[in-house]
Amino acid sequence: MKSLFSTAAVLLVSLVNVSQGVPTLFARQSSDDLGSWIDGETTYSEKALLANINPEGAVKGFVAASPSTSNPDYFYCWTRDAALVMRAVVHNYNNEPSDDLATIMQDYVGFQINSMNEDTVCDCLGEPKFNKDGTSYTGAWGRPQNDGPAERASTFIQIAQALKDNSSFVDDTIKPAIQRDLDYVSSLWSETCFDLWLMVMRRALNDGAKFLGNDSYATTASDIESKLKSFYSSDDGYIKVTQQLAGGADYKDSGLDTSTLIAANVASLGDGFFTPSSDEILATSLAIKKSFASLYGINKDSNSSDISPAIGRYPEDKYDGVGNSEGNPWYLCTLAFAELYYRAIGEWKDAGSIKVTDTSAEFFKQFDDATASGTTYKSGTDEFDKIIEAVTAEADSYFARVQKQTPDGSLSEQYNRDSGEPTGAKDLTWSYAAFITASAAHSGKPVA
């Protein structure tokens, strides 16, 4: 899988593909009603995602990034991707418990613990990906990726909470693995590595401090928070994804990266720090949107009020899904915007007001020309309701973009920047997980 975002970064991403594909599960609903389409595509995504877990020919617990084995070969289990995919599985289990989903979660835990004990090229827990038989990948790759253990620890904690009645499995199997991952993260979080995602490290350590009762993890999380603050550039007006670049993609001059928004969705603690509704994240979302607005040919249709610009990883991207030429929009990046804004709406409703600052004023001017730093929208007023309605329409427009570029329900890694046709790895597991989590946010019940 191609690494999704950049070296020594604030955030993350990596992805996967396949063309031997998931079998057709059912025809996509044909409806002009966006909500009905979202419901139908959510069901499709849930089934397609599960088809990529424990696929034929792989050991139990293997989460294939994609069924594609050539052009590109994504038939591997990435530690990062698998953890994010399993968040969606845990969410569905919590909504509707089943023995089948419980078994899948237990299989995943078993595979991951095996991978933690495998001999690896980096000789560390930050090994990025593993083969279908559970052995580590030994080819050339960007390693180590030290935030992978953080994402895994957070997902393990969610699984432990979901399967709490199975106390022996939680206490004897999951908890020791969580502690091992978090000890690793605590000791290495400040070291340069590939695609470092500090925000998920902060969340994992805070989650672990509560779950394991280890206050030292919270102390380290506070140190990470202090470091994260330095990634916001007041001169540029957005969060820059990378500091101290040492190798990797040296052409990402803007510092803009959709992984920043994905991290806000995944790693938010609901405390206002780089949460979806925070000033810095809203400002960054606008900067990223502007960077893509005229970049892709298909975005000429985004001038209408009901369809968003197509969104890629970062504006300088060269990865086209198979090789290097020109980057394309990604389904999961486009969906990240929808999820972000639905989550922000929920935070504003919970807070009972929206306070506009110097940092967020330009974001809100998209929806209210009269807004300015110092403006406050209070719940129960027409002004508040109008802002909520406008941002909801903005979030919906990203789903509308995905709908337009999804001809049969199947979600690949990317869609072509000019034709809009799906391209890159077919049936990308993370794309389906991204749809599920965006749909959950759309329903008002976002994934934890």
pLDDT in tens, the chain (448 residues): 544 443 334 443 333 333 333 333 333 333 359 999 999 999 999 999 999 999 999 999 999 999 999 999 999 999 999 999 999 999 999 999 999 999 999 999 999 999 999 999 999 999 999 999 999 999 999 899 998 999 999 999 999 999 999 999 999 999 999 999 999 999 999 987 776 689 999 999 999 999 999 999 999 999 999 999 999 999 999 999 887 665 666 777 899 999 999 999 999 999 999 999 999 999 999 999 999 999 999 999 876 668 999 999 999 999 999 999 999 999 999 999 999 999 999 999 999 999 999 999 999 999 999 999 999 999 999 999 999 999 999 999 999 999 999 999 999 999 999 999 999 999 999 999 999 999 999 999 999 9
Structural domain contains residue 23: no
- Residue 61 tokens, joined: 């617990």
Same domain, 70 and 211: yes
- Read off the CATH number of the domain in which 174 is found: 1.50.10.10
Same domain, 201 and 281: no
Same domain, 224 and 253: no
Point out the domain boundary residue: 180, 204, 229: 229
Q: Which H or E element spans position 414?
A: strand 414-415
Same domain, 360 and 224: no
Segments forming the whole domain that contains residue 341: 238-447
Total domains in the chain come to 2
Q: What pLDDT shows up at residue 303? A: 66
DSSP 415: E
Structural domain contains residue 129: yes
Q: Which residues contact 304 (CB under 8 A, 6 or more apart)?
A: none
CA atoms within 13 A on the CB side of 416: 6
Same domain, 175 and 299: no
User: Hunting for tokens 């406008």 — which residue is that?
Assistant: 390
Point out the domain boundary residue: 209, 229, 249: 229
Structural domain contains residue 201: yes
pTM of the model: 0.93
Same domain, 102 and 221: yes
Same domain, 206 and 299: no
Q: Give the Å distances, CA to CA, from 280 to 12, 151, 204, 239, 361.
A: 17, 23, 21, 7, 11
Q: Which residues contact 44 (CB under 8 A, 6 or more apart)?
A: 25, 26, 28, 409
Q: What pLDDT shows up at residue 11? A: 43
How many H helices and E strands in the chain? Answer: 14, 8
